[in-house]
A = this chain, B = another copy of it.
Amino acid sequence: MQFELAHAIEILRRTPDTLNSLLRDLPEPWLVRNEGPETWSPYDVIGHLIHGEKTDWIPRAKVILDHSETRAFEPFDRVAMFEESKRKSIVELLDTFTELRAKNLHELQSMNLTSDLLDQRGRHPELGVVTLKQLLATWVVHDLGHIRQVVRVMSKQYGVAVGPWKAYLSILGE
């Protein structure tokens, strides 16, 4: 499928509602269990998404628009949330994510991105040359990937409880 800005925004604007629907006011065990050492709980994922809203997507879009390939993006800290989320409730994190996403989509729309601007090139510190369009498509897929992570982590908490049905539930083997 070709990237279309309006189609991408349709997904990006839905993610806060989807995560609220999945997680808000859920009993704690569903929120804090993970897949084992060095893996993330649904709670951790929301903190990671918040950090992305603050330091990744829109800030990188601005670097592309302002500096093109001449300035590489700041590296993204994938685990900053372990410090930043401390002592915050899941409701607080979901509300923060919802606010930041709304603000960032407003900013994205105010950029009035033309087809030429979407093709503008930037420089990723590891991946090299990328385009603004690729950054925005990645934002979409990153959202979807973390929704899938949240439901996978939750499903595994019932990996034993399903008994013999485990054989039919491919999500438990991922």
Contact = CB atoms under 8 A, between A and B. Distances in A.
Nearest to A129: B164
Interface stretch (A7-15, A44-52, A61-69): A7-15
B3 A128 contact: no
In the complex, the count of this chain's copies comes to 2
A140 interface: yes
A36 interface: no
A27 B129 CA distance: 30
A22 B14 contact: yes
Nearest to A174: B174
Interface stretch (A93-101, A102-110, A150-158): A150-158
B127 A167 contact: yes
23 contacts: A1-B158, A1-B161, A2-B161, A3-B158, A3-B161, A7-B30, A18-B22, A127-B164, A129-B164, A131-B163, A133-B161, A134-B165, A137-B161, A137-B163, A138-B162, A141-B158, A144-B152, A144-B171, A145-B151, A145-B169, A148-B155, A148-B171, A148-B174
